[in-house]
Every structure is written in C-alpha cells, then in structure tokens.
Amino acid sequence: MDQLDLEGSAAPRSAPPGPGALSGLLVADFSRVLAGPYATMLMADLGADVVKVERPGAGDDTRSWGPPHAGEVATYFLAVNRNKRSIALDLRDPGDLETARALAARADVLVENFRPGTMDRLGLGYDRLGAVNEGLVYCSITGFGDGAGAELPGYDLIAQAVGGLMSVTGEPGGPPMKAGVALVDVITGLHAAMGVLAALRHRDATGKGQRVSVSLLSSLLSALTNHASGYAAAGVVPRAMGNRHPSIVPYEVFQAADRPIVIAAGNDRQFRALCEVLGRADLAADARFAGNSDRVAHREALVAELTRALAARTADDWYAALTPAGVPCGPINDLAAAFSFATELGLAPMVGEGAAAQVANPIGLTATPPSYHLAPPVLGQDDEWVREILGG
C-alpha cells in the first residue's frame, strides 16, 4: 500500500498491482461517514476502482472526526477509505454537477446515502441515470427507507435506539446501552456490498443493472436474528441480560481468581467437558442440568456452582486447561491484546506500519485476494485522474 501521505500531497498514485475479483469495475462513491464508505472500501480491496466524491474544502464528515489522529488525519476516515480515489465536486455548481453526472454515466456501480430525494433533485437519481446507463447498479443506503421514514436522521445511534438493539444491550434493570462500535452502520455496509454483488451477477446474465436499497433499520432487524425470530414467530419481547444468553447456559462471563473469563458451552458435550476440567463431574450428572433447556431453567443454581469452582484458579490457567478439552472460552481482551492474539494465531490482522497501518480485509481468496495499493486519499487528490478517464 502507498505510504500514508500525512502532508496532503496530491502526487499521482499507482494503479492496482494486479487483477482482483472486481477488477474492471468503476464505482462512483457518493456516500459519506460509515455504512457506504465501508461497503465501497470492501469493493476497492477486491480490485474495483472507487472514486469518492467529496465536498470541496471539507470532504467526508469523518475527515474531522477525531481524536485519534494519525499525523493530522482522523483515523475514523482512514478506517473505511483506503484504495479509493478522491475528487472534490460541489454538487451545487453546474460544472461540477455535470462532472458528477458524467462519472455516474460511466460507472458500473453508484453508491449513495444522501437523504431520500436529494439525488433525484440533483439529476443523479436512478431513473435518470439508468436511462443513459442501463447497466448501472445503483445502491441507495438510507436510515429508515424512502417512505414515511425518509425524513428521519440516519445515524447509527438512532437506529440502535429505535431498532431495539439498545433494549437488549446492557445489564438487567440498567439503562439502555449502545454497542461499543457503530455496529448497525457496519452491518448495513455489508448488506449493501452483498446487494451490489448480487445485482452485478444479474447484470452479467442480462446486461441490465438495477437499484439496490438497504436501510439501517431493516439491516438491524435482520441482524437481531434469534431475538427478532423469537418475536416474529413466538411474540417474545427480549430484555437486556448483560453478558448472559437467553437460550444457552453456561454462556457468559465468569470471575476467575484474578480476572474474568468467558465460557460458552453450547452443547451437552461441551458442558460435560467443562464439568470434568473443573473437577465437578457431579454437575453434569445432576438432572437439573442434564440438557440445555434444563440448564436454562436452573440457570442461577448452575452459575453459582460454576462461579465457586472457577474462583480457584486464574483465567489463564482455566484457558490453558479448558481449550484442549474442547470447551469454548477466552480471556476478555482490550483491542491491543485482541490484535496481539490474532497475530499469534497467524491471522495477520494489520497491513502497513506506523501511521500507514490499516486493519486487514478479513476476506480470504486464494486466486484474487484483497490488495492494499492506495492509501486513503487526500481530499481531491485524484481530480486530474478522474477527469482524464471522463475525457477531460
């Protein structure tokens, strides 16, 4: 990957080093902040040429969302904008707007997350662009759809609140709690990227593009999986349970002699192995704990017994003993320890060094792996390149 330019140089930048799974695709990225940029970065990592359209002078909001910074650059922006090219266009300026339309007319994919109706007013809506570029895959990301929810602000925190995630996060009886990361934005970005790939597959067969629509709220409701299914099929409204699982026991945080450890015994075999290692085989033989449903019904009694047993040794001791026995468990790491753990496992979680370091794309492909060829762009760094491919 190009070394991260912390001084704002607009030097020409290299082309991708080799063919990727999405090589040859041009993506016009009109999205900002997180969900859209995350989706387009995944495409860029896989070889697509992504052109990020930004406001002159300011650019993507996340350019100023710091600390932390790497040099003068907000690391929030760096997180989701590598392998992209930036062009600064004022969509209120007729000349810049024509450049934006020319880019969209040339693109294979367009991704946008403006408030519903904005792109139509600019002459950049799907109906107009699809008429001149019938192969265009046009992805719109909204907070709450383009109907009655069109005017609602599409922020991750709002989606977590109204979408039910905060109601199942946190301690029982405690205040509603958000997830520690903008999880709904990330999930929506993944859905957007998958929708685009599905539409491209359809285009391969028919030559026709289509519109892809995803929303934060719909993505969250889907991602709530077992909770959402429990409500849809059985009318059960879940509640916050802290680190416990509503349907599996033991599956939570326990206090060892020195610090907490997580244990997730998801089946009877794992539970029996846990009891053997703890020296409490009698618990596995107890009729109250014979099956998972029994353990859920007698949760408090079982957790009390396990807590007493786990207090005898350190978390590291238990991890070393339980893991070979096939009992899922692990220490509770901070982010530094998490990266170190991934490195020890050979997962190579980072690429680059120092201020140029990036989190690696998690997708492994044997023939067309992700590449890291462009650092996140300086605002407007690739204006000349973009205008050249558009014919001036």
Residues annotated as catalytic are 245
- Report which secondary-structure segment, H or E, holds 16: none
215: Cβ contacts below 8 Å, ≥ 6 apart: 141, 142, 143, 144, 145, 149, 188
Residue 91 to residue 103: CA distance in whole angstroms: 13
Residue 190, Cα to own-chain centre: how many angstroms?
6
- Report which secondary-structure segment, H or E, holds 219: helix 216-223
Helices and strands of the chain, counted as H and E runs: 16, 13
Q: Are 125 and 159 in contact (CB under 8 A)?
A: no
Rg for the chain (alpha carbons), in Å? 25
Residue 211 to residue 28: CA distance in whole angstroms: 14
107: number of Cβ within 10 Å: 24
- Look at residues 111, 136, 125 and name the one whose alpha carbon lies nearest to residue 37: 111
Residue 95 to residue 226: CA distance in whole angstroms: 50
Residue 105 to residue 128: CA distance in whole angstroms: 10
Dmax over CA atoms of the chain, in Å, equals 78
Q: CA angle 283-286-292, nearest 5°?
A: 85
27: β partners: 50, 109
205: Cβ contacts below 8 Å, ≥ 6 apart: none
Structure tokens at 321: 């003993």
